[in-house]
Structure 1
Amino acid sequence: MSFNTSKTDEAVAFAESRLAATVVRGPVSMPTCDARANHCRLPGSDLWFCSYGFPVTLSFGEGTYMRLQIPWTGSGQTSTAGQDVALAPTMACVSSADAKIDFHQGFQQFAWRVPVAMLTRKLAALTGEAIDGPLNFTAALDLQTPNGRALREILSNLANAANNLPGPAGRLVLAELEQALTTSLLVTGTHNYRPILDGPVRGIAPWQVRRAEDFIEAHADDPLTVEDIVTATGASARSVFRAFAEHRGYSPMEFLKRTRLKRARLMAESGLPALTVTEIALSCGYGDLSRFSKDFLAAFGETPSTVLRRHRSVY
């Protein structure tokens, strides 16, 4: 689908009707423009190219998709979840459906709308673990890193394929590139599941590792010690630690910390009005509140109080 108009009122009407946007700030004294939009329906998502030809601010309500904005020329800004991202060809943005976007004069962008469920399925496949909590991205995404440049290149190839490869063969290529873009976003963007995604794959391992992990997950809220974990396996401490190092790349105590932090994140995201950071820390086996906050920040890029406050506001 393609859209072209030289009338600003038609461009505004298009944004409101086809993109479900609300115009917060429209063109001033600009009856004519050069507005263009192209839409490609992919197997599981939607790719848009938008160029309004005039300054405009659009607001989008809550939905079930993530939006990846990759600026092509010019500059703009996206405000979402308390974060402001200055958009440029070197800086993309990942936002939920709830966002306000400023299109400056001459700004052109690709916007990929991908269902959260699709990202979650891909994340589960990549990590081998069930994803049982919300997927939260940091809005800013640097396109100057090696992963960022690769992501931009995949999107460029996807756009070229959409324009030049018709028919069944073209649809197969689009499906493969869509999957590649999904994976690229997950490994490039910063989100709350990156510690799992960046860590070793949890697959086949000796019985000592599996038994220790089962014990840790069942008693993660308790004040566990190395001796407790070793006793539960029935093996020597040296055997347990060597098996973890070889097959996981970290120690049993690191696995305990990761398990506790995942539970703490889920508790904070519940947004329960009476819940406090101290209660979360104690419930997840942390006796030191300062250590808990530092570990949480290192794992997820934000403090537990920030997560709790954000989710409490919509409780």
Structure 2
Amino acid sequence: MITERISKGGASLPLAHHLSFKTSTVDEAIAFAEGRLAATALRAPIGAPACDMRANHCPLAESDLWFCAYDFPVTLRFSEGAYLRLQVPWAGNGVTRTANADVALAPAMACISSADATIDFHQDFQQFAWRVPVVTLTRKLASLAGEAITGPLRFDAPLDLQSPEGQTLKGILVTLANAADHLSGPAGQLVLKELEQALVTALLVTGRHNHRHRLEGPAQGIAPWQVRRAEEFIAAHAEEPLTIEDIVAATGASARSVFRAFAQHRGYSPMEFLKRIRLQRARRLAESGTAALTVTEIALSCGYADLSHFSKDFLAAFGESPSAVLRRHRA
């Protein structure tokens, strides 16, 4: 049985049953960071005495949860990747440097960063590092908001762990780590999968990001007649090759009035609304799991004449391709 490192308080470290690597030499620790974590060491002690570095790793259904304790000061540069990183300090201090901000890591302050970042691990710094694909977050955001997500997802780096939302997020993370250490078998995997989804939701609700308004704003309500009439027309003819002229003509108002009303009361244009309607219908068709249905048929039935354009819009909105949704629901 592996003997795990014990924290100064006398308890074993989180994810103790998921040891991925441990060493007593700085050189081996750096080799692990560069080989397994795709990092580059920018600063590390030379000729240092023996250390006690270890990394515990729990692969989840859609993400990866790490707990790392380097035990010596080191600066690591991480390369680009299609994931976001949530760092939740456990002990000690550190600093994460991104293109837009430097975040001082401490037990009361976490950090959300893209894969591309430089991290200073101070002496005896310990942390959770949760790597979650951007497509997973985008797909969950679309589900929570009830609409397609267009444009990239960008978070503010600092995340206050002392706020009620931050404490809740950290609580879910710690519960997930405890479950990973104590639950096993198919039933345990079900619990981990549900906790992972809860953590994804907590990050989207707690973190500040450019699509936050989709979760905080009120449901669509009363709008000027131009908007209501345009939306009714678009919903009834979304599968047709509509133009902005068609939409404006159906309202009986000027194009300028229609665009101004949409901007003020919806925050997007009539053509953006048309795209959202088409993509929502396409997702429902893909999720139907109909065996004979193809991506091309879905695209054409939802008003898309260009298959590559459809696939690109679908991926950007929901974080996965239409073919992937079809395969999953057929299975």
TM-score scaled to structure 2, two decimals?
0.65
**Equivalent of 1:108 in 118, 126, 141:** 126
> Are residue 96 (structure 1) and residue 106 (structure 2) matched?
no
> Are residue 20 (structure 1) and residue 30 (structure 2) matched?
no
Q: Deviation of residue 259 (structure 1)?
A: 1.8
SS of residue matched to 2:155: coil
Conserved? CA contact 1:40–1:47, under 8 Å: yes
> Are residue 255 (structure 1) and residue 277 (structure 2) matched?
no
**Equivalent of 1:183 in 193, 197, 201:** 201
Cα offsets for 1:256-312 (capped at 9, x unmatched): 5x226xx8xxxxxxxxxxxxxxxxxxxxxxxxxxxxxxxxxxxxxxxxxxxxxxxxx
Pairwise CA RMSD: 3.1
| Residue 135 (structure 1) aligns with | 153
When residues 199 and 28 of structure 1 are mapped into structure 2, their CA distance, relative to the original with a 3 A threshold, is same
**Which amino acid in structure 2 is aligned with residue 22 of structure 1?**
T
SS of residue matched to 2:51: strand
CA distance in 1, matches of 2:52, 2:167: 29
| Residue 186 (structure 2) aligns with | 168
Q: Deviation of residue 130 (structure 1)?
A: 0.9
In structure 1, runs of 5+ residues without a counterpart are: 233-250, 264-315
| Residue 195 (structure 1) aligns with | 213
**Which amino acid in structure 1 is aligned with residue 47 of structure 2?**
S
| Residue 125 (structure 1) aligns with | 143
Q: Deviation of residue 41 (structure 1)?
A: 0.4
Conserved? CA contact 2:93–2:105, under 8 Å: yes
Q: Deviation of residue 207 (structure 1)?
A: 9.1
Conserved? CA contact 1:9–1:31, under 8 Å: no
CA distance in 2, matches of 1:203, 1:43: 37
Share of identical aligned residues, percent? 64
SS of residue matched to 2:165: helix
CA distance in 2, matches of 1:184, 1:150: 8
CA distance in 2, matches of 1:121, 1:152: 22
| Residue 293 (structure 1) aligns with | none
Q: Which stretch shows the higher mean deviation, 204-213 or 132-141? A: 204-213
Conserved? CA contact 2:262–2:268, under 8 Å: no
Q: Deviation of residue 106 (structure 1)?
A: 1.1
| Residue 10 (structure 1) aligns with | 28
| Residue 247 (structure 1) aligns with | none
**Which amino acid in structure 1 is aligned with residue 112 of structure 2?**
V
Q: Deviation of residue 202 (structure 1)?
A: 4.7
Cα offsets for 1:94-137 (capped at 9, x unmatched): 00010000000011000000000000000000111111211011
CA distance in 2, matches of 1:45, 1:147: 21
Q: Deviation of residue 5 (structure 1)?
A: 1.3
Conserved? CA contact 1:54–1:106, under 8 Å: yes
CA distance in 1, matches of 2:171, 2:156: 21
CA distance in 2, matches of 1:77, 1:67: 14
SS of residue matched to 1:118: helix
**Which amino acid in structure 2 is aligned with residue 184 of structure 1?**
A
CA distance in 2, matches of 1:61, 1:215: 47
**Which amino acid in structure 2 is aligned with residue 8 of structure 1?**
V
When residues 126 and 210 of structure 1 are mapped into structure 2, their CA distance, relative to the original with a 3 A threshold, is farther
Q: Deviation of residue 201 (structure 1)?
A: 3.7
SS of residue matched to 1:67: strand
CA distance in 1, matches of 2:155, 2:224: 34
| Residue 248 (structure 1) aligns with | none
Q: Deviation of residue 8 (structure 1)?
A: 1.1
Structure with more contact order per residue of length (Cα contacts < 8 Å, sep ≥ 6): 2
SS of residue matched to 1:32: coil
Conserved? CA contact 2:91–2:107, under 8 Å: yes
When residues 124 and 8 of structure 1 are mapped into structure 2, their CA distance, relative to the original with a 3 A threshold, is same
**Which amino acid in structure 2 is aligned with residue 56 of structure 1?**
V
**Which amino acid in structure 1 is aligned with residue 203 of structure 2?**
L
- Structure 1 runs (4+) deviating above 2 angstroms are 200-219, 251-256
Conserved? CA contact 1:127–1:201, under 8 Å: no
**Which amino acid in structure 2 is aligned with residue 62 of structure 1?**
E
TM-score scaled to structure 1, two decimals?
0.68
Conserved? CA contact 2:166–2:206, under 8 Å: yes
Conserved? CA contact 1:6–1:34, under 8 Å: yes
Q: Deviation of residue 43 (structure 1)?
A: 0.3
| Residue 238 (structure 2) aligns with | none
Q: Deviation of residue 81 (structure 1)?
A: 2.0
| Residue 62 (structure 1) aligns with | 80
Conserved? CA contact 2:113–2:157, under 8 Å: yes
Q: Deviation of residue 253 (structure 1)?
A: 6.0
> Are residue 40 (structure 1) and residue 58 (structure 2) matched?
yes
CA distance in 2, matches of 1:205, 1:40: 48
Conserved? CA contact 1:58–1:102, under 8 Å: yes
**Which amino acid in structure 2 is aligned with residue 42 of structure 1?**
L
